């Protein structure tokens, strides 16, 4: 059985390790705040959502497949949470049975544990089947229709009846019937567990009926060696059945593990949805465009990680960057440029894992990879200078980035003088654009930004952080050519109370 609630045709691989670029995304985009809100103190959900969010889908059909499933989850949150809780309870119960049996290497112990665990699994599967019967008609997505259809088809009453019959027999209340043959040197060989003889009719018929010839021997109560030999014979007879039953348990356990993973992601989405709804922050399901297109337009886009960390609401931005390869963001210090850049990156990740995004509307093309190159704070442990470290990180990105990707620069190459930094930024940006890589660049380097603005290229967009005449920041970004000043004197005045001379 497969859940298939994340992919149409395969399970999600939780064993995959995050790359160093994923760690940079978490740090630069401040994703930990979102993961924490999604997990809601559930450590398993925290790990699951981190890996699933960072494992981007690469086609619009797969994204819409998850979107439809998530819409069902939002419309039926209690059903989703109850199924997730059932998966968690099942896995916990299996572990309790596991630690309750210490002689797991013996077939009899394996069989005993497997029978107990499988009986527990059957009860849990019945509860899952009951949920499917009661609520499946409320779900409209392809994913849940397939899931509930599989549950109803595979977990029929006949199936449960047959399993329970087998489990009752495997308790061996009437003893174990085994056949064997003589092997080489008169050793016993070819042990086979046999089905007990059926006893039909009344007791008179059973007493008077002709029975096959049999020989019986008894072991004395204190004959420990004999009892050990008999136990060994029994283990050899039930060995294959014990292993088969253990494998059946592993199969069912893997199903519940995967169910917990896939439902855990959607429970995390529900937790985030509830947090944002409580603050009155808008969300929408994005419209993903093909990777070959150039789409990037949105209304009311805000930084979801920031809004989770503050009491008030975050200012959203409206931008139309369709058919643009380069977006350069300039303007006043502390005007919301870095926050805007993070909102673009986080929304792209959320869209490409099938989530809703923090905006009133959002449409973007799928990207083959998302990279960030943000300025770093001084690190006393660095063996080289800050500018060398920036170039080293950029070299690593260049070695791994592919056409169709997107990269976010935040004050990059500012650790040297403006002329040198602008030239490096210009050459790197030009090379990336030639490889059809979408670039968002927050910068204070006027020479770099102004140089691109003077080209009047149709595939470029210039945004500027808005500043009121009195120095007030609105945290809105509007289209506008780069200015030579970042209004640093505003911050000086705010801190020291007077304008610098």
d(CA 425, CA 431): 10
DSSP 6: S
DSSP state of 288: E
The reported pLDDT for the residue numbered 156 is: 81
- CATH of the domain spanning 282-496: 3.40.50.300
Torsion sign across C-alpha atoms 351, 357, 363, 364 = negative
Contact 34, 231 (CB under 8 A): no
CA dist 242 and 195 (Å) reads 15
> What residues contact 88, with CB distance under 8 A and at least 6 apart?
44, 260
Among 451, 480, 443, residue whose Cα is nearest residue 464: 480
Give the start-to-end residue ranges of the domains of the chain.
Answer: 57-171+250-278, 282-496
Instruction: Phi first, then psi: give them for residue 122, nearest 5 degrees.
Output: -60, -40
Please give the pLDDT value at position 282: 97
Would you state the pLDDT for residue 177?
Answer: 61
By the 8 A CB rule, do 56 and 18 touch? no
**Half-sphere CA count of 134, side-chain side, radius 13 A:** 12
Give the integer Cα–Cα distance in Å for 64 and 49. 18
Buried-state track 24-50, b at ≥16 Cβ within 10 A, e below 16: bbbebbbbebbbbbbbeebebbbebbb
Question: Whole-angstrom Cα distance, residue 302 to residue 464?
Answer: 16
Residue 481: other Cβ atoms inside 10 A: 12
Q: For residue 105, what pLDDT is reported?
A: 61
* Secondary structure of 262-282 as H, E, C letters: HHHHHHHHHHHHHHHHHHCCC
| Rounded distance between C-alpha atoms, residue 178 and residue 237, angstroms | 6
- Alpha carbon distance 265, 46 (integer Å): 9
**Cβ neighbourhood burial of 373 (10 Å; 0-12, 13-18, 19+):** buried
Residue 457: CB atoms within 10 A of its CB come to 13
For 189-196, which contacts have Cβ atoms below 8 Å and span 24 or more sequence positions?
191/233, 191/236, 191/237, 191/239, 192/237, 193/237, 193/238, 193/240, 193/241, 195/169, 196/169
User: Which string of DSSP letters, residue by residue, matches 156-204?
Assistant: -HHHHHHHHHHHHHTT-TT---EEEEE-GGG-EEEEEE-PPPP--S-HH
CB contact at 8 A, 191 and 179: yes
Residues in the chain: 501
pLDDT at 265: 98
- Tell me the pairing of strands 460-467 and 473-479: antiparallel
pLDDT for res 436: 96
Exposure b/e, 274-303, CB count within 10 A at least 16 = b? ebbeeeebbbbbbbbbebeeebbbbbbbbb
Contact 421, 414 (CB under 8 A): yes
Return the residue matching tokens 């009926």.
209
DSSP assignment string, 37-56? HHHTT-HHHHHHHHHHHHS-
Q: What pLDDT, on the 0 to 100 scale, is given for residue 102?
A: 45
Question: Cα–Cα distance between 44 and 352 in angstroms, integer?
Answer: 22
CA distance 413 to 420: 9
> What's the burial of 101, exposed, middle or buried (CB within 10 Å: 0-12/13-18/19+)?
middle
Please list the rounded mean pLDDT of every run of 10 residues in the chain (501 residues). Answer: 90 87 95 97 96 95 98 97 96 75 56 72 91 95 95 83 64 59 66 60 59 66 63 56 69 92 98 97 97 96 96 95 97 90 98 98 97 79 74 94 97 87 95 97 94 93 88 88 67 52 55
CA–CA dist 90, 94 (Å, integer): 6
Q: How far is CA 403 from CA 1, 289, 322, 406, in A?
A: 38, 16, 18, 9
DSSP assignment letter at 357: B
Token pair of 47 as six digits: 């790990």
Secondary structure of 57-106 in HEC code, one letter for each residue: CCCHHHHHHHHHHHHHHHHCHHHHHHHHHHHHHHHHHHHHHHHHCCCCCC
CA 390 to each of CA 337, 379, 395, 426: distance values in angstroms, whole numbers, following the listed order: 20, 12, 9, 15
């Amino acid at each position: 059985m497969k859940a298939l609630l994340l992919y149409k045709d395969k399970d999600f691989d939780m064993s995959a390790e995050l790359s160093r670029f994923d760690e940079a995304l978490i740090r630069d985009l401040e994703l930990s705040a979102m993961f924490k809100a999604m997990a809601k103190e559930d450590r398993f959900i925290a790990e699951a959502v981190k890996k699933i969010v960072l494992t981007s889908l690469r086609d619009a059909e797969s994204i819409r497949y998850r979107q439809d499933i998530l819409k069902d989850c939002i419309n039926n949150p209690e059903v989703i949470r109850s199924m997730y809780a059932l998966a968690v309870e099942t896995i916990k119960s299996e572990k309790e049975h596991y630690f309750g049996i210490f002689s797991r290497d013996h077939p009899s112990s394996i069989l005993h544990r497997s029978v107990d665990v499988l009986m527990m699994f059957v009860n849990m599967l019945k509860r899952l089947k009951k949920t499917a019967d009661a609520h499946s008609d409320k779900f409209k997505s392809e994913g849940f229709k397939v899931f509930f259809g599989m549950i109803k088809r595979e977990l029929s009453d006949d199936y449960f009846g047959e399993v329970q019959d087998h489990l009752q027999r495997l308790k061996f209340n009437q003893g174990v019937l085994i056949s064997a043959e003589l092997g080489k040197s008169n050793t016993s060989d070819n042990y086979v567990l046999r089905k007990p003889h059926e006893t039909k009719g009344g007791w008179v018929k059973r007493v008077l009926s002709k029975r096959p010839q049999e020989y019986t021997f008894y072991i004395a109560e204190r004959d420990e060696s004999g009892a050990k030999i008999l136990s060994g014979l029994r283990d050899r007879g039930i060995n294959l059945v014990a292993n088969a039953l253990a494998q059946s348990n592993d199969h069912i356990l893997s199903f519940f593990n995967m169910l917990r993973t896939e439902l855990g992601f959607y429970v995390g989405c529900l937790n985030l949805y509830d947090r944002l709804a409580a603050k009155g922050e808008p969300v929408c399901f994005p419209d993903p465009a093909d990777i070959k297109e150039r789409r990037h337009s949105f209304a009311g886009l805000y930084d979801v990680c920031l809004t989770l960390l503050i009491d008030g609401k975050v200012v959203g931005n409206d931008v139309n960057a369709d058919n643009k390869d380069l977006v350069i963001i300039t303007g006043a210090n502390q005007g919301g440029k870095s926050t805007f850049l993070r909102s673009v990156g986080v929304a792209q990740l959320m869209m490409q894992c099938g989530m809703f995004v923090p905006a009133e509307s959002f449409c973007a093309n799928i990207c083959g990879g998302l990279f960030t190159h943000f300025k770093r704070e001084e690190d006393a442990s660095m063996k080289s200078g800050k500018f060398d470290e920036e170039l080293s990180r950029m070299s690593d990105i260049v070695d791994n980035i592919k056409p169709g990707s997107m990269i976010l620069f935040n004050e990059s190459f500012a650790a040297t003088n403006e002329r040198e930094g602008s030239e490096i930024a210009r050459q790197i940006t030009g090379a990336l654009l030639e490889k059809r890589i979408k670039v968002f660049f927050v910068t204070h380097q006027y020479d770099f930004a102004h140089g691109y603005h003077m080209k009047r290229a149709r595939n470029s967009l210039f945004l500027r952080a808005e500043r009121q005449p009195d120095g007030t920041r609105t945290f809105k970004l509007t289209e506008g050519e780069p200015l030579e000043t970042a209004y640093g004197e505003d911050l000086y005045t705010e801190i020291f109370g007077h304008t610098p001379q």
